A and B are shown apart, each in its own frame.
Chain A
Amino acid sequence: MRPRNYLFALAAALSATLAPVAGLHAEEPVKGGTATFIMSPAPQILTSAMTTAGAEQVVSSKISDSLFTYDFNLNPQPLLAESYDVSEDGKTVTFHLRKGVKWHDGVEFTSEDVAYTTMEVWKVLHGRGRTIFGNVEKVETPDKYTAVFVMSSPAPGMLKSLAAQQAQILPAHIYKGTDPTTNPANLKPIGTGPFKFVSFAPGDNLVLERNPDYWNEGKPYLDRLIFRFIPDPATRAAALESGEAHIAPQNLIPMADLERLQASGDFEVTTKGYEFQNEMEMMEFNLDDPVMKDIRVRKAIAHAIDRNWIVENVLFGYGKPATTPLHQQLVELHDDTDVPQYDYDPEAAKALLDEAGYKPDANGIRLKLIVDPLPYGDHQNHIAAYMREAMREIGVDLEVRAQDFAGFVKRVYTDRDFQFTVNLLTGGSDPTIGTQRTYWTPSFKIGVGFSNGSHYSNPKMDEILVAAAAEMDEAKRKELYHQFQKLAMEDLPVFPLAAVESTTVASTRLKNHTIDANGTYSNFADVYLTPAP
């Protein structure tokens, strides 16, 4: 059995020749200075090894490195792992670790840290850990710089998920033998990353300083990196304009402000660096509902909605109308050839409703329905409001129901007392990480949030998804996911509305903030700040 060895150097050389990228500059970096980063919500702890919360991921990735980072096409690039081998059968993955890396307290980073974090933290406590690392049976550590993952079956998706936001490594010498969820180091982190912890004022700010002993010599360029937690969207824009902050990622600046900020010439907006998230605005139909069970009703609703209108007006053009359940950013897998489309066509919608037996009454009303938009940001509410108007045109009287996040999760995934949602679902860097959950029969579990909310079950679909998840051959995998996209749009348990593009707004003085697929989730070792004019 000859292992396949993956060299990063080639991939790195290739990616360097790619088209110029927002925030990537070739000139001599400026050393020193303090960059201020706007974040909201405020992180509650300072490690992301055991949480999927966005703020924790963004701040802690600067403090602690991961095995890999990923270029814009999601090819792994070396960080703490210098190279890796995968055995022929895909069941053994060996990571060759970088030598001479030190934790911020001076202890050496070794394979022991990788083994501990994988088996006792990621697999047990991380939100997606059981999906990503479920097949890892044990991690062997033949020497200090080699970590061997022994798998029960191959998991090609795992290799796409080893960046800091999914898989941050914790120091075993500090965590081992403790309850990681209450370890004091969660609030005073010790990492391997380019920045060291200085102070944390919960709800206010986090101050990090340059790690002079960083393994990548000469980096980072910044002396200090400050995070400020600003809950009010208008205040965030003000903080950028007053010059107090330099960067705000993840749509933290209201889309309505983007044009003004860009026009000033002091700020640039980029949609790169979110290749990992692949968020989709989607309608989940409750297939347990007697009305929604009828595919003609679902198709009628799909035809009644103008996805272009949603992209133009709700997302301010930051997105694309969805054509399949997969985000267009998943360039290697997204494929809409021969995939059924439901173009905006109110007449077709009415015909489908006629066929389903929903004739208009004296007031022109055929059907009363209720939509539950996900209360997370404003987009889902705006889309639901648009739908109410659009549905009226085909004789559907739509009520928009409001509740808070916990109430929504309980209604949809526990009580199952809903007809359809407007939801924001994260596709992830690979369909096995996110999208599969929406369509796979075993994912339907009462009480489990954002997991097959439709209660969709098609044995053929399950077969495709399981085969694709373990398929090591790229071409075969692509073909399987093409079949998935076709079947998903034929059965229509979920109607994908829009592939969302998230935005990062940054001062034009801040360079290199988005140089790979991790965007502002990366470690910021390359970021520098040019002097104020």
Chain B
Amino acid sequence: MDRQFWTYLGRRAVQSLIIIAIVIVGSFLLLHLVPGDMVDVLGGQRGDMDAELMAALREKYGLDRPVIVQLLEYVGNVLRGDLGYSYRNSNEVLNLVLQRLPVTILLVVCSVITAVFFGTMAGVFAARHSHRLADVVISMVVLVFYATPIFLTGLGLMIVFSVKLKLLPVGGLMTAGFSGSWLELIADVATHLILPVVSLSLFYIAIYCRLARASMLQVLEQDYIRTAYAKGLSTYNVIIGHALRNALLPVVTMVGLQIAELFGGALLTETIFSLPGVGRLAYDAVFERDYPLILGVLIVCAFIIILVNLIIDILYTLLDPRVEISR
């Protein structure tokens, strides 16, 4: 890692900070444009609210001050690492997000790995047998998965594997009140994650499969592949060592682009399979106008997405030495 690399990293860090600042200010202002605040919701839920009590609550939660003052104070708090307090949950926002984040990350990471692995494998296989039966079947199957909404796939799998066969649980992260060793716990969580991960990744397998197939076809026509064969390398060595490594580049780019979308898809999966992830936390918070909590989730997610993209850009330079980080 030379000096160029560190300059690059510094520049990217500054860019990322600017993006996060835009996320904070933008979401804060957008949220305050939406009609109705937390006190309206509270007032709707409890029966005997009166104007004075509502004014007092707005004062307590600081909602009575000008938006710009609230914004400045919020930014100041965030800079000190304080994401605020969620009165609805009797807890610190940071605690709430950190409690739920591992679930979403687990779901997203497992789904990405599954989708990339099976998608790429299917794509490579299809490219090797392009325009033959295997290719047509693979393309059709992945297209069906792509065209099926996640909630439908999820419910379908649930009806088959949970209701009819009673093999897998209908949802939750683990058996409620589970007690056992670490290994048993991991096995329990894994059992609970099979259906959600399969439902979420089936949709994305199609994208990686098509991408891998197209880029593989292109790579296989290159001169160096012929050279590799001519050197007498085995088919396996040529495909995996020479072709796939180059064909993977667009796939890696796609992972970076899709990580944000996966967080969105995770919300649906979390809802169907009752997983206590950040998607649901944010969803509920929006309906309750729990501003600190919504903003906390947005900031943490934006941070993760930016971080993942940074890592992917660095990975890129490792996969493809032609990419110069100084540009």
Contacts and interface: CB of A to CB of B under 8 A. Distances in A.
Bind each other: yes
A239 B45 contact: no
B80 interface: no
A60 interface: no
Nearest to A44: B89
Contact of B36 (A204, A206, A244, A409): A409
A410 interface: yes
Interface string B30-66: 0000111100110111111111001000000000000
Contact of B40 (A45, A183, A232, A414): A414
A451 interface: yes
A457 interface: no
A131 B48 contact: yes
B119 interface: no
A52 B170 contact: no
B40 A409 contact: yes
B305 interface: no
B49 A207 contact: no
Contacts of A447: 40, 43, 49, 51, 54
Interface stretch (A80-88, A223-231, A316-324): A223-231
B253 to A, nearest CB: 33
A53 B159 CA distance: 31
Interface in B272-307: 272-277, 280-281, 284, 286-289
Contacts of A239: 170-171
Contact of B163 (A41, A204, A241): A241
Contacts of A204: 172-173, 176, 274-276
Given A238-B162, A242-B162, A410-B35, A128 B173 contact: no
A205 B155 contact: no
Given A447-B54, A451-B47, A45 B90 contact: yes
Interface in A202-223: 202-207
A129 B170 contact: no
A406 B166 contact: no
Interface in A369-422: 403-411, 413-415
A201 B276 contact: yes
A202 B35 contact: no
* Interface size grouping (class) on chain A: 35 or more
B274 A238 contact: no
Given A205-B176, A407-B35, A414-B40, A242 B48 contact: no
B21 to A, nearest CB: 27
A408 B40 CA distance: 9
Given A207-B176, A238-B162, A52 B90 contact: no
A404 B287 contact: yes
B148 interface: no
B274 A230 contact: yes
A131 B47 contact: yes
Interface string A32-59: 0000100001101100000111000000
B227 interface: no
Given A127-B48, A234-B155, A239-B170, A228 B274 contact: yes
Given A45-B89, A204-B276, A406 B172 contact: no
Interface of A: 36, 41-42, 44-45, 51-53, 126-131, 181-183, 186-187, 198-199, 201-207, 224, 226-232, 234-235, 238-239, 241-244, 403-411, 413-415, 426, 433-434, 437, 445-451
20 contacts: A51-B45, A52-B46, A131-B48, A182-B90, A187-B90, A202-B100, A204-B172, A204-B176, A204-B275, A231-B280, A232-B272, A235-B171, A244-B170, A406-B287, A408-B44, A410-B40, A411-B35, A413-B44, A434-B47, A445-B50
